[in-house]
Amino acid sequence: TAGRADLSCDDPTLPVDESNLIVRAIRAMQAESKRCRGGDQLGSAQRGITEWGSTECGNYGVRVKLQKLIPTGGGLGGGSSDAAATVRTLNDLWKLSLPEQRLSELAATLGSDVPFFLKGPSGICTGRGEIVHPIPPPGPRWALLMLPGTSMPTPAVYRQFDLMTDPGLSNSKVSSPTGDCPTGDWEQRVDWTQWQRLSAKGLLRHLQNDLEAPAFALSPSLGRLRSDAETLVSRPVRMSGSGSTLFTLFDERNEAEEAAEKVQHRWSSDWSPDGLDPESIGLKTIVAHVAPDEVNG
């Protein structure tokens, strides 16, 4: 039916109404399609998306079936990447032929990090995060993801960050961004090919997440989980996004799998922060091959 935006998901806890980023992306693309002229009858399906064509431009309907693999509230950008995929797919499916700049503008109305998922896999993000400057990706790595059973509310983490960076507070514990953040002539000042040659451990030493301090202030147990994991795997462990997922990197698969076994055994046996029941942590570990060159292939 023309104008419909139907979303179904295999995760019953995920809202599938107008608050979902996929539905919002569909609405944005439907509104954008009204600006075009003409129209044609389109194909019937593409990668889980079924559409109802219309000879009246801007009157398209679509049905999306979402298989949710990236956990919500984990700081992994699952919702934002879903929105970006919807924008790009509907541009192709409905033959709107919108330029990349316009797609990025539409993506930015959905969320500050949505444009990154249109232009990734690696980039420098400025402004609110919506201005993306692609850079060469690092080489392939094996990533160990550690997913606690609890999620971190992104707005609360950012509010805590603001409190901790307020120059008027004597107990400020997070440094505000400085000139180290590349803007303007960043492309001329930084040789981004250098990080392609770093080992996994070398790369980890250069990774920083300013949201870790506020997230750990809100959830001290998450900070202790990170510290314990670093001891177990003998390398830096970072938090992804606003949390709660923790991750580290390895050059070889067997290293990552051995580390996953150590972490899983530790957190499912006799240890927990402040007496927290390990079963209530609900920790899961995932070993994944990260090959950025293949992401957009």
Q: Which comes out higher in pLDDT, residue 198 or 18? A: 18
Say what the pLDDT of residue 58 is. 56
The pLDDT of residue 169 is above 60: no
The pLDDT of residue 108 is above 60: yes
Contacts (Cβ under 8 Å, ≥6 apart) of 154 = 75, 241, 242
DSSP 97-166: ---HHHHHHHHHHH-TTHHHHHH-SSEEEETTTTEEEE-PPPPPEEEEEEE-SS---HHHHHHHHHHHH-
The pLDDT of residue 43 is above 70: no
Both tokens of 295, joined, read 């992401």
Number of neighbours of residue 126 by Cβ within 10 angstroms: 15
CA-based angle 240:13:263, to the nearest 5? 40
With beta carbons less than 8 A apart as the criterion, state whether 52 and 94 touch.
no
Task: For 59, list phi and psi in degrees, rounded to 5.
Answer: -115, 25
The pLDDT of residue 270 is above 50: no
For residue 251, CA distances in Å to 52, 137, 176 come to 46, 15, 32
Say what the pLDDT of residue 137 is. 84
Mean pLDDT of 75-85: 95
Instruction: Give me the domains of the chain, ranges plus CATH numbers.
Output: 5-134 (3.30.230.10), 141-175+194-294 (3.30.70.890)
Say what the pLDDT of residue 276 is. 41
Contacts (Cβ under 8 Å, ≥6 apart) of 287 = 142, 143, 144, 145, 253, 256, 257, 260
> What average pLDDT does the chain have?
81
Say what the pLDDT of residue 228 is. 92
With beta carbons less than 8 A apart as the criterion, state whether 225 and 146 touch.
yes
Q: Which comes out higher in pLDDT, residue 135 or 81? A: 81
Q: Which of 45-59, 170-184, 232-246 has the highest mean pLDDT?
A: 232-246
Q: pLDDT tens across 199-255, in order?
A: 999 999 989 999 999 999 999 999 999 999 999 999 999 999 999 999 999 999 999
Q: Which of 47-61, 145-159, 277-291 has the highest mean pLDDT?
A: 145-159
- Residue 282 and residue 31: Cα distance in Å, rounded? 42
Mean pLDDT of 31-56: 53
Q: pLDDT tens across 184-206, in order?
A: 454 555 567 777 788 999 999 98
CA-based angle 253:144:121, to the nearest 5? 95
Q: Which comes out higher in pLDDT, residue 41 or 7? A: 7
The pLDDT of residue 164 is above 50: yes
